[in-house]
Amino acid sequence: MTAPDPRLSINQATIKYAPLAEALHLTAGAGITSIGLWRDSVEAASLPEAARLLAGSGLRFSSLCRGGFFTVPEGPARRVAMDDNRRAIEETAQLAAAGAPGSAAVLVMVAGGIPQGSRDLVGARSMVEDALAELAPEAQAAGVRLALEPLHPMYASDRAVISTLGQALDLAAPFAPAVVGVVVDTFHVWWDPELTKQIARAGQEDRIASYQVCDWQTPLPADVLLARHYPGDGVIDFAAITADVQEAGYRGDIEVEIFNQEIWDTPPGTAIARTIEGFGSAVSPHLLQAGARR
Amino acid sequence: MTAPDPRLSINQATIKYAPLAEALHLTAGAGITSIGLWRDSVEAASLPEAARLLAGSGLRFSSLCRGGFFTVPEGPARRVAMDDNRRAIEETAQLAAAGAPGSAAVLVMVAGGIPQGSRDLVGARSMVEDALAELAPEAQAAGVRLALEPLHPMYASDRAVISTLGQALDLAAPFAPAVVGVVVDTFHVWWDPELTKQIARAGQEDRIASYQVCDWQTPLPADVLLARHYPGDGVIDFAAITADVQEAGYRGDIEVEIFNQEIWDTPPGTAIARTIEGFGSAVSPHLLQAGARR
């Protein structure tokens, strides 16, 4: 078996059905040194217990998924969403403190779609601006970085009105880079004709908070949320995108986050082994050695 | 029944199963004054017969779908693709000549996806540039306008490596606007944060060759090619986009092109009636009166 790349982080979604303790155990047992967690799993264990288990695993913590879903008009429902984001900020801070050195206090933010019954995409996007203005001071106080994730445009109506890296950078611009960054997830952005340019811009503006890798294949499955594949199993040019992200200065952990029913239906140990292999062949060859600079 | 908008054109794909003669008959019989045709249907009838039928119908011809699919490496397969495009140019010229006054010699171009076995999206995009350079002089000689259609990014790998209006305009830039234009199809571009800006640019550069309208709904169907809906049945803001397209100076026919198995399974006369209604309520109110200018 390939030795895991030292920058590889398993995003817990890839082994969705493993409870937190098992996910940590399998990840560390496979020689992987970092993990990205999901809130439902953390909350199922309770935050203090999750932090304890994470600390005991010896793993770095690379991100918490996810905050956001704040494209809600002002009113009680929006207040509920904002309070939920406050809890997510607190969870991120505690988990980052519990993780091994090199952990990242990164909260991945998925914006949310167009409000039910509305056609006002522009208005929904402005709700994201307002929410960031409200949450950024609290994230800053907690030492947490909000990482805006552009999602593939096929999710623009029902999941994320942030659709391109350029748009995410525009939304991040009013805030300090240490407080609001962006996620570069290959699955969501690989198609973008502006990608190389916007990754370079993200580097210049010091905004890359997370680099996530998984692959794109067609035909898409019936549920397009579950369309992700192991790196190397599809059409994404990981050599080019990884080089762009390195060139932009990102040196953090790289998460593999896969939503795919077939992969979820395999034993989690198998999914981890395949992730190590896919990452090792599709991504690792394009990473700079530790400490190297172009 | 609503009287059809004078700018409404039925794209034949909306009534996919109607043979050409029936499609023309039903369209004209419903009081619609324009139609966009598909090559398979034209070729099934033969080009001279299709031109004769079109002339007899009294309808304007708004476009031929479609040329393109030239993301093929140089070699015999690429030559076949280029020759097919030459035939499409000739068909467009003859059909535009046979249509009623106000017909548009517009050939819609769908670029094609990444070649089988390749991950070189940038290379595939450069094949589009090369193909346009080869075909543009022939289109110009025939009086035909090649209309580059950006397709939704969910089709980037297997159908069209042109994914945004901005990218289509960049590809069109080396050529005269009368020879290479772009299609604005709401289904493909509605999500784009740059849309208003790029439609305005398309107007300034005199590139809008076609405006097509249909709607976006989620969840997407199992086959994402068939995800289109009547205008007004989804989340697209036709008021805003139609205003942008008008502001950009486009005054031509507006096609409704819907791929949707349920709609195809209704009688074509029903689909035409629903198209007239949807267009009348979702699009017509946002059109300037003939001759009006802001």
**Nearest-angstrom CA–CA distance, A26 and A20:** 10
Alpha helices in chain B (DSSP H): 20-29, 39-45, 47-57, 76-98, 121-142, 165-172, 186-189, 195-204, 238-247, 261-264, 268-282
**Nearest-angstrom CA–CA distance, A263 and A261:** 5
Nearest CA in chain B to A170: B193
Phi/psi at A182 (nearest 5 deg)? -135, 160
H-helix or E-strand spanning residue A240: helix A238-247
Residue type at position B178: A
- Report the CATH superfamily, name and number, of domain A8-285: Divalent-metal-dependent TIM barrel enzymes (3.20.20.150)
Closest approach of A33 to chain B, Cα-based (Å): 30
Q: Over range B147-159, report the average pLDDT.
A: 97
H-helix or E-strand spanning residue A123: helix A121-142
**Nearest-angstrom CA–CA distance, B215 and B194:** 19
Question: What residues in A contact B118, CB-CB < 8 Å?
Answer: 235
Side-chain-side CA neighbours of residue A199 (13 Å)? 22
Residue A54 pLDDT exceeds 50: yes
Compute the radius of gyration of chain B from its Cα atoms: 18
Strand partners, B37: B64
Query: Model confidence over A264-283: pLDDT tens digits?
Result: 999 999 999 999 999 999 99
Q: Give how far Cα A206 sits from Cα of A169, A201, A245, A291, Å.
A: 10, 8, 11, 18
Query: Model confidence over A210-251: pLDDT tens digits?
Result: 999 999 999 999 999 999 999 999 999 999 999 999 999 999
**Nearest-angstrom CA–CA distance, A12 and B127:** 39
Query: Model confidence over A98-142: pLDDT tens digits?
Result: 999 999 999 999 999 999 999 999 999 999 999 999 999 999 999
Quote the pLDDT of residue B291. Answer: 45
Measured in whole angstroms, the distance separating CA A157 from the mean position of its chain's CA atoms is 20
- Report the CATH superfamily, name and number, of domain B8-286: Divalent-metal-dependent TIM barrel enzymes (3.20.20.150)
Nearest CA in chain A to B170: A193
What residue spans define the domains of chain B? 8-286
Question: What residues in B contact A153, CB-CB < 8 Å?
Answer: 152-154, 191-192
Quote the pLDDT of residue A17. Answer: 96
H, E, C per residue of B192-230: CCCHHHHHHHHHHCCCEEEEEECEECCCCCCCHHHCEEC
| Count of CB atoms situated within 10 Å of the CB of A281 | 14
Asked whether the beta carbons of residue A219 and residue B223 sit closer than 8 angstroms, the reply is yes
DSSP B166-191: HHHHHHHTTS-TTTEEEEEEHHHHTT
Closest approach of B119 to chain A, Cα-based (Å): 5
Query: Model confidence over B40-98: pLDDT tens digits?
Result: 999 999 999 999 999 999 999 999 999 999 999 999 999 999 999 999 999 999 999 99
Closest approach of B127 to chain A, Cα-based (Å): 14
Query: Model confidence over A160-180: pLDDT tens digits?
Result: 999 999 999 999 999 999 999
**Nearest-angstrom CA–CA distance, A267 and B226:** 34
Mean pLDDT of chain B: 96
Question: What residues in B contact A185, CB-CB < 8 Å?
Answer: none
Smallest CA-to-CA distance from B259 within B209, B208, B291, B214 is with: B214
SS3 A143: coil
Quote the pLDDT of residue B288. Answer: 76
Nearest CA in chain B to A154: B154
Asked whether the beta carbons of residue B125 and residue A163 sit closer than 8 angstroms, the reply is no
CA atoms B207, B211, B14, B216: torsion sign: positive
Task: Write out the two tokens for B166.
Answer: 């901005």
Residue type at position B121: L
H-helix or E-strand spanning residue A24: helix A20-29
